[in-house]
Amino acid sequence: MWRIKLACLLLIFVQVQRVVLGTHDVYIVVMEGDPVVSYRGGVDGFPATAVDLDEEMDVTSEAVTSYALHLRGHHDKLLDSHLVEGTYEKLYSYHHLINGFAVHMSSLQAEFLRKAPGVKHVERDMKVQKLTTHTPQFLGLPTGVWPTGGGLDRAGEDVVIGFVDSGIYPQHPSFAAHKTDRYGPVPRYKGKCEKDLVTQRSFCNGKIVGAQHFAKAAMAAGAFNPDVEFASPLDGDGHGSHTAAIAAGNNGIPVRMHGHEFGKASGMAPRARVAVYKVLYRLFGGYVADVVAAIDQAVQDGVDILNLSVGPNSPPTATRTTFLNPFDAALLSAVKAGVFVAQAAGNGGPFPKTLVSFSPWITTVAAGVDDRRYKNHLTLGNGKLISGLGVSQY
């Protein structure tokens, strides 16, 4: 009987804790101690895991896996010893690029963890947004970079580009597997392929070598609507497919729109492989906690390049220096791991202080222009015909 009473009291205590603690949000907690990519020893029983830039890290080695488990266990121990079970939910453990975790908890619990030993800082999760055929010729690729990489048919061969974006539409011809010039395996890439929830088909086909989605923070925040969003790597609005096609789309893809022919399109590296890490969704964009998890996973999987057409809605406020937040710290570790990182500059401008790519250690890509000019005609209601550049009904 006393056990039943004790269980009831514990249940009441947990419920009272939830009421007192109030509204929950997602927070990213960054810990002291190095993540896997920069750990050079110092913890008893765990050898160094960091490698030089000209070396390749074996993410399956005992040293890497044991140290990663050590960090994850340390995260769990901190939560168990400082917060009441049932009043929080850990969403991710970050251990490869940053040492920390994402947790759904109250502001009071966040303040409590800020004072806990071993905690560097605690930052409330932020929303992120999407940043958004003749270009290869305009850039001089056919006579410039492409010949140095084996020509048009080999440009980007064996390079894996990780796209942290809104997913992929695998049926698009830009991502079709070549029937005559098939892709071979990429031994160093260890990413996995999720299946389409409706067709149960894999998203991968040789051209696409990895496809995963990340939405735990979005779900915890109550932003994810399963009736509208795809809980899979499937692209919900075309943004991710668009960016992937620009960078790594197949060569010679006909472009037609509203009955107009716009020639044939090609990605900048048409033989590169595509690895998809979906973090952006149609209705709300995404959350930093999911983005950091995707970046962490992409580097573990072995991508050569990270492409991020994604950025925060506003500068982070939890750190005095803009680029010391968990997102940009993860990008720094990715660069240290030998990954080339490119991020869009943002949707703002041309006004000052509209840049949302803050990291000084990555390549930020801003808006540009090319030499395309389409002459068009517009017929007014009175029958008058107007000709000019940029005049269109679309």
pLDDT 10s digits, 282-293: 999 999 999 999
Read off the pLDDT of each residue in 16-34 and give the average, rounded to a whole number: 78
Say what percent of the chain tops pLDDT 70.
82
Residue length of the chain: 394
Hey, what are 69's tokens?
A: 């488990």
- Ranked by mean pLDDT, the top range of 141-145, 255-259, 302-306 is 302-306
Lowest mean pLDDT among 13-22, 81-90, 226-235, 385-394: 13-22
> How high is the pLDDT of residue 350?
73
Residue 234 has which token pair? 């499937």
Predicted confidence band of residue 200 (pLDDT cuts 50, 70, 90): confident
pTM of the entire predicted model: 0.83
Tell me the two tokens of residue 321: 């220096």
Amino acid letter, residue 247: A
Q: Which ranges in the chain are annotated with CATH 3.40.50.200?
A: 128-365
- Most confident of the following: 138-147, 235-244, 357-366: 235-244
Q: So what's the pLDDT on residue 368?
A: 63
Q: Which of 200, 247, 201, 218 is nearest to 102 (CA)?
A: 218
- Could you tell me if 113 and 318 are in contact, meaning their C-beta atoms sit under 8 angstroms apart? no
Write the class of the CATH domain 2-124: alpha beta
- Smallest CA-to-CA distance from 96 within 303, 379, 343, 375 is with 303
> Can you read off the two tokens belonging to residue 210?
């990895």
Type and span of the H or E element at 147: helix 145-148
Residue pLDDT, tens place only, 293-306: 999 999 999 999 99
Look at 92-96, 361-365, 366-370 and tell me which has the smallest mean pLDDT.
366-370
From residue 235, give the alpha-carbon distance in Å to each of 83, 198, 279. 37, 14, 10
Q: How confident is the model at residue 146 (pLDDT cuts 50, 70, 90)?
A: low
Average pLDDT, the chain: 85
* Amino acid sitting at position 106: S
Instruction: Give 214-251 pLDDT, tens digit per residue.
Output: 999 999 999 999 999 999 999 998 999 999 998 898 88
Q: Name the CATH topology of 128-365.
A: Rossmann fold (3.40.50)
Q: Which pLDDT does position 317 carry in this prediction?
A: 60
The DSSP call for residue 392 is: -
| pLDDT score for 18 | 46
pLDDT at 394 over 50: no
Q: What is the pLDDT of residue 240?
A: 93
Helices assigned H by DSSP within 232-278: 239-248
In the chain, ranges of CATH 3.30.70.80 domains: 2-124
Q: Looking at residue 16, what is its pLDDT?
A: 46
